[in-house]
């Protein structure tokens, strides 16, 4: 067990280092660099000589391996540096954007999971067949909606036409209603599909019939067994989706004019803001590693079959 | 392409060898939703291949005097800010969006399956190494990866499609690997290896075909996802350059006018939803058959 | 590519420019003539929600040319002098009076008493000297760049606590006007002791302006609070005390449709960047459009003649006559965007009407192209030998509807057989390609500035170098236009104001005769405000000033 965890931790460190290196290589491959983008901008009206001086001051033209070692060393010493583009410490830029993205993402995921649960149970428990099949079709529709389009339509209808929910200058929670909804709807679809499938499987399995024969209500059986069977795959999907949610946040943030990690990433790539990008990559990789690690560690606890396999492996 | 060639119960429905009773039974089992899905995809493919059959307007050259006209008999979907017929732009845009989706699925499918096949077939340590590389791909934010690829390759639908495809390699590889591992454990494959079959021959003749069904089903689902991903990149400004009528770009450009010209956002959006819905519906029916 | 810097450059003498064609010319003064509800007195108090299109970047004052930066800096910093946006005259502000020597290599400013920065430290001669030392010379170790509007700066001297003297190595007649621009906003010495890399944090910018940065969510929201002890407005301002508003909330909202929707739904009070197509619904709802002119070089398309395709003057002239600016303005814009009649705006200094050189004449264009040897080829694109007459341009994101404008130009050029591909690239490719005329033979361009110098700044190779000449910063093989450069340098060097404006006229004529530039329209900065927003002011080139703004009863 200890050896297993140690191996996983080493692997996690490797993934972090490799992600950092990949991002460094990607940045080098992009045309131009951040000094060029920032200071060739005619807004500053700098002369050729002044720009040359600035490049020298920032060490923009030292050999690549030196730049790599420098930025790796900086990260290892726990410093994230300053963003040249924004003129703020990277840590401030992240601190300003991370909480809103996390809030959006966590709420989005929770809403998606609840929505999926509601759809799944209604789709199996609703009395009328046509209603059931209609509900079963909902996830397919949800997954087909472009988030940005959904967002635009939601804002126009609910905020500007019906004036129900403000999006600008609203309270921190009020303003999140529409973005969370836009984010949650497509995410809920695969979760709902997994749930519906597990419910179907459980219903056809022998032990359910036995349990029901023993007098358990259908509802009770469903709750007890579906959870057992549906939670592990939901968690797995959740682990993958969480990363996707962060990417999905960029669209929601753009449409709703929110700022967050998604937008920060998009702008940082566009402006080749190296310091910010490296920080984001490290955070995202850390998040990925942690989510996967916990899924791997939690799954055996939830699923007895896996527990056995796990025990055998270690 | 597998989607177009193997419609469930649809292409086979009118085969002459089927007796009329079985034919009727099949028809009864034929779900209207699925038929609708195939019809939608067929129209979209027709738009992409023969756009001039569907509209006589130019998708790029407009009449500025007739700008932002609401939908009507002359312009079914209305006109945009430069007086271009929106319906014509949607029809002519199909080829960009659909071929983009195909390219991205092809990239993900080919690269992912190859990596997964190798990882699942080689010895444990090499397998581990490959899967760690895949982990790294998953750990770098997909957005960063896609945008960087587009910036390096240059803006355009094909490049956006490649970027989306590359971002999907990891999930294809993971699935392909687990399928290969599953198939390898099957008795007859073990037997084929045991009876002295050459490694690659067994891989090619037994492992790959048996692993492929699940992967292809994922590909069908990935198609709808790719349409959305490409239009999302177009929306963020990383897709086709104007005046290409790519669907994401149409929504993206139309959204500025939403309060005065709703049709510019709503119609392309509905078309995207319809096509993705159809693709997913078909993909799911394939998944259900393979599981 | 070159928008954003709307900084008035040094001007020798105040110049009276008409503010014709603006629906809101009355609203153009931050102090003078601000709109007020009929006879009612301004109300003190309240919070204004202002939606900005882009987040500010670095708030080092000389970087105030970027529009969102200027919009913040204009509220939190004051300048030595005040350029009256109505008359363009230089008036006292932080400086009570000033004097200069005959050859203008020395300036002495006498400061107003009792002015303090928002951190309580006095705004005295030492602070002012430090500001201009940094703006004039830059700072290597703190990485502060030199200000574009201060030339030949030699040094400063604190004569007494309220008197400061500036010395220049060469005559610097433009310095007086240069002290009035947003890029010369005075900040506390402590602010300038910070590194350039730290000045993107608005809370670190300490000025003496009527508002103070109370809090900031980076890239998202900024709250400015009124300085209750503010008492040093320019004399021509109606308000002499604290600002009427208690608070301004800047919210960055990139989406055009969300800004306009939020305004009309009552979620915001003032928004920046209203597109022409939304003006009708704003006015229909009883809201008001403000479109102050940027008084500079018109929104245009420029050629990079180093590219062989457009090196031939006949090709450039053909494209000039193939461009239908009237159709562009009528299809995409409104009356706030007058069709261009010269290289610079009709409200700019030294303007001359050259509309007879800007005729739309497709037949002439076709003839010129035939003459230049470009024959109609396959796909309707003209060819010479194996070469196609196909050009590319990057869209400019900050210019209003630039993508639509370029697409319409592409449609117009296609009718005479010239292909124009409009690119939308990332910042890196854009910045790299823009330096290379082979990749960007055509480029959109505009710059706002209330001074004759603006035209020199836009086209001279030492400055913005929009045509990309050989000595400049581009990857240029041979193109250089000595005659143009001579004329441009004359604008900057000439002491006599009349002669100077005559050079401006000559440059406009020359640029159009050479067909280096195709002017399209005069670009305003468009704002929209709720009907109860009173006294919204704008400085000389259209940046908002909220000092005199107040909220009437809704």
- Model pLDDT for residues C446-476, shown as the tens digit of each residue: 887 667 777 888 898 888 889 999 888 888 8
Structure tokens at A13: 């460190």
| β-pairing verdict for C163-168 and C221-226 | unpaired
Q: Which two tokens stand for residue A187?
A: 């995410």
Rounded to a whole number of angstroms, the distance from the CA of A264 to the nearest CA of chain B is 11
pLDDT over 90, % of chain C? 62
The span from the CA of C325 to the CA of C331, in Å, is 10
Identify which of B243, B241, B263, B246 has the alpha carbon closest to the alpha carbon of residue B254: B263
The stretches of C25-84 forming alpha helices (DSSP H) are: 67-76
Helix, strand, coil shares of chain B, percent, nearest 5, are: 75, 0, 25
The predicted-structure confidence for C311-337, as pLDDT tens digits, reads as follows 999 999 999 999 999 999 999 999 999
As given in the structure block, the two tokens for residue C242 are 């604290």
For residue B233, the chain A residue with the least C-alpha distance is A251
Q: Considering just the CA atoms, what is the radius of gyration of chain C in Å?
A: 24
| Average pLDDT score over chain C | 87
Q: Is A32 on the interface with B (CB under 8 A)?
A: no
- Reported as a single tens digit per residue, the pLDDT across A69-105 is 988 888 888 888 888 888 888 888 888 888 888 888 8
Host H or E run for residue C502: helix C497-513
Band of residue C31 on the pLDDT scale cut at 50, 70, 90: very low
At residue A204, the pLDDT reads 72
Mean per-residue pLDDT, A25-39: 84
The pLDDT value given to residue B27: 60
Please count the other Cβ atoms lying within 10 Å of the Cβ belonging to residue C161.
12
C neighbour chains, 3+ CB pairs within 8 Å: A, B
B15 pLDDT band (50/70/90 cuts)?
very low
According to the model, what pLDDT value does residue B99 have? 92
When pLDDT is cut at 50, 70 and 90, the band that residue A243 belongs to is: low
With CA atoms as reference, the chain C residue closest to A51 would be: C145
Nearest-Cα distance to chain A for C537, in Å, is 23
3-state helix, strand, coil in chain C (%, to 5): 30, 20, 50
Contact A167 C60 (CB under 8 A): no
Residues of chain C neighbouring A177 (CB-CB closer than 8 A): none
Which of A42, A167, A261, A273 should one mutate to test binding to chain C, selecting the residue with the greatest count of C CBs within 10 A? A42
Confidence of residue B6 (pLDDT cuts 50, 70, 90): very low
**With bands split at pLDDT 50, 70 and 90, how would you rate the model's confidence at C8?**
very low
Q: What is the mean pLDDT of residues C159-164?
A: 96
Q: Give A 273-312 residues with CB within 8 A of chain B.
A: 277, 280-281, 284-285, 288-289, 292
Which of A235-239, C75-79, C228-232 is least confident?
A235-239
> Given an 8 Å threshold on Cβ–Cβ distance, is A32 in contact with C432?
yes
- Residues A169, C251: C-beta atoms closer than 8 Å: yes
For the stretch C236-242, contacts whose Cβ atoms lie closer than 8 Å and that sit 24 or more positions apart, written own/partner, are: C236/C29, C236/C31, C236/C32, C236/C82, C236/C84, C236/C91, C237/C30, C237/C31, C237/C32, C237/C547, C237/C548, C238/C31, C238/C32, C238/C34, C238/C548, C239/C31, C239/C42, C239/C547, C239/C548, C242/C44, C242/C210
What does the pLDDT read at residue C155?
Answer: 94
Mutate to test the interface with B, among C261, C277, C423 (most CBs of B within 10 A): C277
Per-residue model confidence (pLDDT) at position A245: 64
What is the percent of chain A where pLDDT is above 90?
A: 2
C1 — pLDDT class (breaks 50, 70, 90): very low
From CA C65, how far away is CA C7, in angstroms rounded?
Answer: 6
pLDDT at C9 over 80: no
B96-106 pLDDT, tens per residue?
Answer: 989 999 999 99
pLDDT band at C359 (very low <50, low <70, confident <90, very high): very high
Query: Across residues C388-392, what is the average pLDDT?
Result: 94
Q: Which of B62, B243, B256 lies nearest to residue C257, judging by beta carbons? A: B256
Phi-psi region of C373 (alpha: psi -120 to 50; beta: other; left: phi over 0): left
Give the pairing type, strands C390-394 and C419-423: parallel
Query: With bands split at pLDDT 50, 70 and 90, how would you rate the model's confidence at C24?
Result: very low
Whether C483 and C507 have beta carbons less than 8 Å apart is answered as no
Decide if C36 contacts C42 (C-beta within 8 A): yes
Q: What is the DSSP string of chain A?
A: -HHHHHHHHHHHHHHHHHHHHHHHHHHHHSSS-HHHHHHSSGGG---HHHHHHHHHHHTTTS-HHHHHHHHHHHHHTT---EETTTTEEHHHHHHHHHHHHHHHHHHHHHHHHHHHHHHHHHHHH-S-HHHHHHHHHHHHHHHTS-HHHHHHHHIIIIIIIS--S--SS--TTGGGHHHHHHHHHHHHHHHHHHHHHHHHHHHHSHHHHHHHHTT--HHHHIIIIIHHHHHHHHHHHHHHHHHHHHHHHHHHHHHTT--SHHHHHHHHHHHT-HHHHHHHHHHHHHHHHHHHHHHHHHHHHH-HHHHHHHHHH-
Task: For residue C46, give how far its alpha carbon lies from the nearest alpha carbon of chain A (Å).
Answer: 15
Lowest mean pLDDT among A255-269, C144-158, C334-348, C463-477: A255-269
CB contact under 8 A, A86 and C219: yes
The pLDDT value recorded for residue C13 is 33
Q: Are B116 and B127 in contact (CB under 8 A)?
A: no
d(CA B290, CA B214): 7
pLDDT at B221: 80
Q: CB–CB of A295/A235 below 8 Å?
A: yes
| Whether B103 contacts B48, CB under 8 Å | no
Q: How far is CA C183 from CA A49, B258, C95, in A?
A: 21, 37, 16
Quote the pLDDT of residue C160: 95
C185 neighbors C77 (Cβ within 8 angstroms) = yes
C415 has pLDDT over 60: yes
CB contact under 8 Å between B151 and C330, yes or no, is no
Residue numbers in A near C65 (CB within 8 A): 43-45
Instruction: Tell me which residue in B65, B147, B256 faces C275 most closely, judged by beta carbons.
Output: B256
Using the Cβ of B58 and the Cβ atoms of chain C, whether some distance falls under 8 Å is answered with no
Lowest mean pLDDT among A51-55, C209-213, C528-532: A51-55
Which residue carries 């086979």 as its tokens? B12
Residue B198 to residues B124, B176, B193, B194, Cα–Cα distance (Å): 19, 21, 7, 10
| Lowest-pLDDT range of A62-66, A205-209, C290-294, C361-365 | A205-209
Q: At C538, is the pLDDT very low, low, confident or very high (cuts 50, 70, 90)?
A: very high
Distance CA B70, CA B115 (A): 50
Cβ atoms A245, A183 nearer than 8 A: yes
**Contact assignment for C331 to B257 by CB distance below 8 Å:** no
pLDDT value of residue C22:
35
Cβ pair C58, C69 in contact under 8 A: yes
**Predicted pLDDT of residue B30:** 64
pLDDT tens for each residue of A116-146: 888 888 887 777 888 888 888 888 889 888 8
pLDDT of residue C192: 95
Per-residue tokens: A93: 């830029």
Q: Report the C-alpha gap between C539 and C30 in whole angstroms.
A: 6
Q: What pLDDT does C20 receive?
A: 32
Any CB–CB contact under 8 A between A243 and chain B?
Answer: yes
Least confident of C116-125, C145-154, C373-382, C500-509: C145-154
Q: What percent of chain A has pLDDT over 70?
A: 80
Q: Does C390 touch chain B (CB under 8 A)?
A: no
- Out of C281, C403, C426, the one facing B260 most closely (by C-beta) is C281
Which residues are CB-neighbours of B212 under 8 A, at least 6 positions away?
B113, B179
> How close C414 gets to chain A, by Cα (Å)?
30
Give percent above pLDDT 70 in chain C.
93
Could you tell me which residue, A306 or C23, shows the higher pLDDT?
A306
pLDDT of amino acid B25: 67
Residue A81: φ, ψ to 5°: 80, -170
Residues of chain C with Cβ-Cβ distance to A264 below 8 Å are: 219
Q: Kindly report, residue by residue over C425-434, the tens digit of the pLDDT.
A: 788 888 889 8
Residue B107 has pLDDT above 90, yes or no: yes
For position C442, what pLDDT does the model report?
A: 94
CB contact, 8 Å: B155 with chain C?
yes
* Ranges A20-29, A73-82, A169-178, C57-66: which has the least confidence: A169-178
Let me know: does C252 contact C72? Beta carbons within 8 Å: no
User: Alpha helix (H) ranges present in C421-481?
Assistant: 427-434, 453-459
Which tokens sit at C218?
Answer: 């980076």
A148 reaches B (C-beta below 8 A): yes
Q: Hey, what are B93's tokens?
A: 């845009």
**What does the pLDDT look like over A205-231, one tens digit per residue?**
666 667 667 766 766 766 777 666 667
Closest-CA residue to C15 (of C82, C104, C87, C83): C87
> For residue C15, what pLDDT band results from cuts at 50, 70 and 90?
very low
> Span A158-169, mean pLDDT?
84
Res C37: pLDDT: 46
């Amino acid at each position: 067990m200890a050896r297993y965890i140690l191996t996983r931790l080493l692997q996690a460190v490797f993934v972090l280092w490799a992600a950092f290196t990949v991002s460094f290589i990607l940045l080098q491959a992009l045309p131009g660099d951040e000094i060029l983008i920032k200071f060739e901008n005619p807004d500053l009206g700098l002369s050729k000589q002044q720009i040359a001086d600035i490049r020298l001051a920032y060490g923009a033209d030292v050999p690549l391996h030196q730049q790599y070692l420098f930025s790796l060393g900086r990260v290892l010493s726990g410093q994230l540096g300053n963003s040249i583009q924004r003129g703020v410490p990277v840590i401030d830029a992240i601190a300003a954007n991370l909480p809103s993205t996390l809030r959006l993402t966590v709420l989005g995921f929770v809403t998606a999971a609840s929505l999926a649960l509601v759809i799944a149970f209604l789709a199996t428990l609703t009395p009328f067949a046509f209603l059931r099949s209609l509900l079963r079709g909902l996830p397919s529709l949800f997954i087909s909606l472009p988030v940005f389009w959904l967002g635009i339509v939601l804002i126009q209808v609910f905020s500007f036409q019906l004036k129900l929910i403000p999006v600008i200058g609203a309270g921190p929670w009020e303003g999140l209603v529409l973005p969370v909804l836009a984010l949650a709807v497509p995410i809920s679809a695969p979760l709902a599909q997994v749930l519906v499938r597990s419910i179907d499987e459980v219903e056809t399995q022998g032990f359910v019939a036995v349990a029901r024969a023993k007098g358990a209500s259908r509802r009770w059986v469903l709750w007890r067994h579906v959870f057992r069977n549906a939670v592990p795959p939901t968690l797995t999907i959740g682990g993958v989706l969480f990363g996707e949610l962060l990417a999905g946040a960029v669209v929601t943030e753009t449409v709703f004019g929110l700022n967050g990690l998604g937008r920060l990433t998009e702008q940082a790539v566009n402006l080749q803001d190296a310091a910010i990008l490296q920080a984001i990559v490290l955070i995202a990789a850390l998040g990925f590693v942690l989510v996967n690690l916990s899924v791997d560690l939690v799954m055996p606890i939830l699923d007895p079959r896996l527990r056995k396999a796990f025990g055998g492996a270690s | 392409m597998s989607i177009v060639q193997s419609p469930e119960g649809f292409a086979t429905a009118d085969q002459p060898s089927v007796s009329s009773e079985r034919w009727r039974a099949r028809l009864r089992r034929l779900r209207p939703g699925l038929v609708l899905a195939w019809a939608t995809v067929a129209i979209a493919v027709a738009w992409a291949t023969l756009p001039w059959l569907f509209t006589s307007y130019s998708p790029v050259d407009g009449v500025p005097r007739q700008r932002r006209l609401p939908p009507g008999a002359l312009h079914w979907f209305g006109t945009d800010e430069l007086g271009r017929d929106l319906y014509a732009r949607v029809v002519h845009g199909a080829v960009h969006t659909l071929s983009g989706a195909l390219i991205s699925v092809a990239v993900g499918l080919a690269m992912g399956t190859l990596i997964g096949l190798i990882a699942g077939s080689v010895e444990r340590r090499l397998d581990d190494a490959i899967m760690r590389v895949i982990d790294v791909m998953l750990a770098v934010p997909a957005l960063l990866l896609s945008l960087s690829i587009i910036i390096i390759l240059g803006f355009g639908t094909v490049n956006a499609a490649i970027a989306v495809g590359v971002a999907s390699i990891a999930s294809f590889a993971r699935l392909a690997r687990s399928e290969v591992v599953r198939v390898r454990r099957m008795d007859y494959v073990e037997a084929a290896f045991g009876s002295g079959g050459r490694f690659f021959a067994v891989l090619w003749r037994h492992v790959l075909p048996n692993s492929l069904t699940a992967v292809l089903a994922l590909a069908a689902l990935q198609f709808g996802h790719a349409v959305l991903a490409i239009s999302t990149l177009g929306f963020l400004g990383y897709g086709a350059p104007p005046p290409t009528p790519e669907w994401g770009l149409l929504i993206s450009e139309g959204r500025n006018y939403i309060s005065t010209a709703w049709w510019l956002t709503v119609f392309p959006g509905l078309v995207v939803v319809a096509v993705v819905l159809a693709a997913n519906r078909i993909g799911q029916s394939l998944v259900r058959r393979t599981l | 590519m070159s928008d954003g810097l709307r900084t008035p450059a040094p001007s020798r003498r105040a110049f009276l420019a008409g503010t014709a064609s603006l629906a809101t010319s009355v609203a153009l003064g931050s102090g003078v003539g601000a709109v007020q509800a009929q006879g009612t007195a301004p109300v003190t108090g309240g919070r204004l929600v202002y939606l900005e299109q882009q987040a500010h970047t670095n708030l080092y004052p000389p970087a105030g040319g970027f529009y969102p930066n200027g919009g913040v800096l204009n509220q939190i910093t004051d300048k030595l002098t005040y350029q009256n946006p109505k008359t363009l005259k230089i008036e006292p502000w932080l400086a009570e009076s000033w004097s200069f020597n005959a050859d203008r290599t020395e300036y002495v400013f006498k400061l107003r008493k009792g002015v303090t920065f928002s951190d309580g430290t006095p705004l005295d001669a030492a602070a002012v000297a430090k500001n201009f030392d940094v703006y004039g010379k830059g700072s290597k170790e703190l990485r502060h760049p030199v200000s574009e509007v201060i030339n030949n700066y030699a040094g400063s001297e604190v004569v007494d606590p309220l008197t400061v003297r500036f010395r220049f190595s060469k005559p610097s007649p433009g310095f007086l006007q240069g002290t009035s621009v947003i890029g010369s906003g005075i900040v506390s010495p402590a602010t300038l002791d910070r590194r350039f890399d730290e000045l993107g944090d608005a809370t670190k910018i300490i000025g003496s302006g009527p508002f103070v940065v109370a809090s900031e969510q980076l890239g998202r929201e900024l709250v400015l609070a009124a300085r209750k002890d503010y008492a040093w407005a320019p004399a021509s301002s109606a308000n002499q005390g604290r600002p009427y508003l208690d608070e301004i909330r800047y919210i960055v909202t990139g989406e055009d449709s969300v800004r306009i929707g939020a305004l009309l739904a009552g979620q915001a009070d003032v928004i920046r960047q209203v597109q022409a197509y939304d003006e009708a619904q704003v006015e229909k709802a009883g809201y008001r459009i403000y479109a102050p002119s940027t008084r500079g070089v018109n929104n245009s398309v420029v050629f990079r003649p180093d590219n062989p395709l457009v090196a031939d003057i006949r090709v450039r002239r053909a494209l000039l006559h193939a461009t239908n600016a009237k159709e562009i303005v009528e299809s995409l814009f409104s009356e706030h965007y007058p069709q261009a009649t010269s290289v610079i705006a009709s409200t700019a200094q030294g303007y001359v009407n050259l509309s007879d050189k800007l005729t739309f004449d497709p037949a002439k264009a076709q003839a010129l192209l035939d003459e230049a040897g470009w024959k109609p080829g396959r796909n309707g694109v003209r060819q010479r030998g194996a070469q196609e007459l196909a050009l590319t341009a990057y869209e400019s994101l900050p210019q209003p509807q630039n993508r639509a404008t370029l697409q319409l130009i592409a449609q117009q050029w296609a009718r005479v057989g010239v292909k124009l591909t409009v690119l939308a690239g990332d910042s890196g490719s854009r910045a790299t390609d823009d330096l290379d005329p082979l990749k960007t033979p055509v480029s959109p361009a505009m710059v706002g500035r209330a001074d004759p110098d603006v035209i020199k700044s836009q086209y001279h190779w030492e400055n913005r170098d929009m045509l990309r000449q050989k000595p400049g910063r581009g990857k240029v093989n041979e193109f250089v236009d000595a005659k143009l450069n001579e004329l441009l340098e004359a604008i900057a060097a000439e002491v006599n104001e009349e002669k100077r404006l005559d050079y401006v006229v000559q440059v406009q004529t020359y640029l159009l005769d050479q067909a280096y530039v195709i002017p399209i329209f005069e670009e305003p900065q468009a704002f929209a405000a709720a009907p109860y927003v009173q006294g919204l002011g704008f400085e000389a080139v259209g940046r908002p000033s909220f000092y005199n703004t107040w909220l009437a009863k809704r």
